[in-house]
Amino acid sequence: QADEAAESGRLTRALKAAEDGQKLFAEGLDQEGRGVTGRARRAWEAGVAKFEESRAALLDLQAKAKTAAVQDAAKREVAAVTRLLIATCDSLGQMEAVDQSFRDAVRWFNKALALDPTDKVATDLKARITAEQIARRIRVGY
């Protein structure tokens, strides 16, 4: 019974971190919409940290929880948190690409692709960045 209570508490904390990440993601979208990219970036980066914290705790619960209900809940939530983490990384990558910080954009897209190799946003934009970098090198002459 004590194990069950501890697992339930860990699940609650992981879900709270995911909820905090969702709020930060929404704040980032709001700030981006207002044209305040610095605040959007900070909100999204904080959201990434919350989603990663939540995802790690949920994966641990999924693998080690003794309670089937906690394992099932963790499994369901891992998928949702992973989708939000990918969306946040994609948003950061897109913003960095618009700011022409291509190295940072590729870093965020790579992070999204590590979680989902089929992520179309990251795949397409990373390819466009690479093509643009090649075109620039050709124009400059190296």
Q: What is the mean pLDDT of the chain?
A: 94
pLDDT for the residue numbered 1: 77
What are the pLDDT digits (tens) for 86-142? 999 999 999 999 998 999 999 999 999 999 999 999 999 999 999 988 888 888 766
pLDDT for the residue numbered 142: 60
> HEC profile for the chain?
CHHHHHHHHHHHHHHHHHHHHHHHHHHHHHHHHCCCHHHHHHHHHHHHHHHHHHHHHHHHHHHHCCCHHHHHHHHHHHHHHHHHHHHHHHHHHHHHHHCCCHHHHHHHHHHHHHHCCCCHHHHHHHHHHHHHHHHHHHHHCC
| pTM (global) more than 0.85 | yes
